Amino acid sequence: MPALKNRCELCGKKPTVGSRISHAHNVTKRRFFPNVHRVRALVNGAPRYLHVCTRCLRSGKVQKAL
């Protein structure tokens, strides 16, 4: 399965929906995108590029490849 650019490959975090509300209270739909970075990580001992959210990076769920 190809990796989606705006989805975390570890935790599955993906865009959510909300409302854009103007000063006149006109409401339209909008999307909130997760903070996803493309990092070179070790997967089964081999380096591979993953799209990972910054929360997974910060919590240490990813071991970066050097």
If phi over 0 gives left and psi between -120 and 50 gives alpha, with beta otherwise, what is residue 61? alpha
Among candidates 39, 34, 30, which has minimal Cα distance to 57? 39
DSSP assignment letter at 57: H
Among candidates 29, 27, 63, 13, which has minimal Cα distance to 43? 63
> How is the chain split into domains, by residue range?
1-66
Question: Class assignment of domain 1-66?
Answer: mainly beta
Res 2: pLDDT: 59
Look up residue 54 and give its amino acid.
T
Res 66: pLDDT: 81
Res 62: pLDDT: 93
Res 5: pLDDT: 77
pLDDT in tens, the chain (66 residues): 556 679 999 999 999 999 999 999 999 999 999 999 999 999 999 999 999 999 999 999 999 988
pTM over 0.95: no
